[in-house]
Amino acid sequence: MSQTSSSLTLEKIIALSKRRGFIFPTSDIYGGLVSSYDYGPLGAELLRHIRNLWWEAMITRRQDMVGIDSQILLHPQTWVASGHVNAFNDPLVEDKVTHKRYRADHAISAWLETHPQTEDIQVEALNLEQMGELILRLKITSPEGNEILPPKAFNIMFQSAIGVVEGDKMPVYLRGETAQGIFTNFANILNSSRLQLPFGVGQVGKSFRNEITTGQFVFRTLEFEQAEIEYFFDPESTDWQALFKSWQDAMWGFITETLGIQPEHLRWRRHSDQERSFYSKETYDLEYAFPFGMKELWGIAYRTDYDLKQHIEFSGHDLSYTDPKTGRVFVPHVIEPAVGINRILLMALCDAYWEDTQNSRVVLRLKPSLAPYQAAVFPLLKNKPELVEKARSVFSQVSRKLAVTWDERGNIGKRYYAQDEIGTPFCVTIDFQTLEDNTVTVRDRDSMIQVRVAVPELTGYLLQRVEE
Ligand code: ATP
């Protein structure tokens, strides 16, 4: 019944997002800003639901997890230690004619799609030099068909400065990922809590990257929200492969069950030895079939003790762990599942988008717990005060437990149409019968089936349906 990703275009999602108030281009009145978007009333709710569901599943409901909230601006040495200052690079190529710049791996992949080769080329596995050779050998051109210059490394950290006096400013970076705030707080967390290995620390917050590739809507933006976990363990007493698998299962379960995404639109992709970072022993990407291809949604990497060791070296602080049973002192290893909240939002919109041609409507078949509003309440007619008054009391009853919206404009058909498009799973109508027997009509978004429910039972009924 659901529309497959192949027949869905990104343009449809962009248009619906703007039309209904999910996502607007940033600074729209000034012509926008490259790869930057604002979230409107519905987008803000959807983001909040995704963020809260992630926090609840990954932190609140687990005994072995805690959360933190570290700063966007960290001590600049953090980024030297983490390798971001020297190696957080994207390969960049420049069109010789238009001087437009593209991410080299993306430009090569796009060219290969229209110029299929008999040899198997794994673009993700190529280094800067190999990309340069390939561009020369295959005469790869820019998307505009012009020659391109050899690829160069381009650091994608955003720089700023603390202080106002010229010459006395301290250069700082807007964080390129949230994870480093977890590593730099490792000793604080350990010393202030009763945690013992294995345990994990998660956080959600803004990250910034000076991305080169544009035009992928909220899939890739300069400013975005990340939800990252560092799961610390002792490699001598914990089987990392089993732990890695259990995190993969947690990720898969969150996406398919908690968020209700269709499993056939997802797949795991293992990084090859060439693609994987030198400190990583294993990396997988959970990919989703976006309208522009199978792309990374959520990455998971076994980063060994690399990060903590780097911070020990650069800070001079002891970040080791003492096993309370054996007294053995060692630096814990980590498994890192890292996802972008905005990418999850884009996936949720794509996965839910359904053109119900039989009933001439567009429906966002979002899981009820994810939908911006879980119910809409309408008085059948807005000029009948007794209906409006009753509807207001129903609204205030239901809104104590659920996210509810109010609509009294136009006819009932138009209201249903509008609620279907924003994914509201249940519409509650207060009509003349309500005044007689205290029941309301509840209409189901997907099946369009309507049932009568008694007002005193309404909140319980809706709560149960939302959690189904
Ligand atoms: P990509 O290969 O797409 O650039 P990455 O491998 O650099 O991503 P990570 O550093 O592993 O990404 O970041 C973890 C997660 O953060 C990604 O899986 C993605 O969901 C999200 N993310 C990364 N960069 C962006 C961005 N520019 N905009 C939105 N989300 C992002």
CA distance linking residue 186 with residue 183, whole number of Å: 5
For residue 107, the one-letter residue type is A
Ligand 1 centroid from CA 98, angstroms: 28
The reported pLDDT for the residue numbered 318 is 95
pLDDT, average across residues 157-169:
89
Q: With the CA atoms of 253, 254, 255 and 257 taken in that order, what torsion angle do they form, in degrees rounded to the nearest 10?
A: 60
pLDDT for residue 4 is more than 70: no
Mean pLDDT, rounded, of the chain: 94
If DSSP codes are grouped into helix, strand and coil, which group holds residue 459?
helix
Ligand 1 centroid from CA 396, angstroms: 40
Ligand 1 centroid from CA 320, angstroms: 29
pLDDT for residue 18 is more than 60: yes
Q: Is there an atom of ligand 1 within 6 Å of 283 CB?
A: no
- pLDDT tens-digit readout, 403-462: 999 999 989 999 999 999 999 999 999 999 999 999 999 999 999 999 999 999 999 999
Tokens for 311, please give them: 């911070």
List of domains in the chain: 10-84+162-352 (3.30.930.10), 89-155 (3.30.40.230), 373-467 (3.40.50.800)
CA distance linking residue 96 with residue 409, whole number of Å: 55
Query: Rg (Cα) of the chain, in Å, rounded?
Result: 25
- pLDDT tens-digit readout, 101-147: 888 999 999 999 999 988 889 898 888 889 999 999 999 999 889 99
Selected residue with higher pLDDT from 89 and 41: 41
Instruction: Please identify, by atom number, the ligand 1 atom nearest to the C-alpha of residue 298.
Output: 18
pLDDT confidence tier of residue 164, bands split at 50, 70 and 90:
confident
pLDDT, average across residues 91-96:
88
pLDDT, average across residues 353-380:
96
Residue of minimum CA distance from atom 27 in ligand 1: 220
Selected residue with higher pLDDT from 342 and 150: 342
Instruction: Please identify, by atom number, the ligand 1 atom nearest to the C-alpha of residue 228.
Output: 14
89-94 and 37-39 strand pairing? unpaired
Where are the strands (E) in 236-322, listed by range?
266-270, 282-290, 293-304, 321-322
Residue of minimum CA distance from atom 23 in ligand 1: 340
pLDDT, average across residues 309-317:
97
pLDDT for residue 5 is more than 70: no
The reported pLDDT for the residue numbered 6 is 56
pLDDT for residue 225 is more than 50: yes
- The CA-CA-CA angle for residues 160, 165, 168, to 5°, reads 75
Ligand 1 centroid from CA 327, angstroms: 39
The reported pLDDT for the residue numbered 168 is 86
CA distance linking residue 198 with residue 238, whole number of Å: 8
Q: Is there an atom of ligand 1 within 6 Å of 37 CB?
A: no
Calculate what percentage of the chain has a pLDDT beyond 70: 99
pLDDT confidence tier of residue 217, bands split at 50, 70 and 90:
very high
Q: Look at 163-167, 178-182, 260-264, 316-320 and tell me which has the smallest mean pLDDT.
A: 163-167
The reported pLDDT for the residue numbered 9 is 95
Residue of minimum CA distance from atom 18 in ligand 1: 298
The reported pLDDT for the residue numbered 208 is 97
Report if pTM > 0.85.
Answer: yes
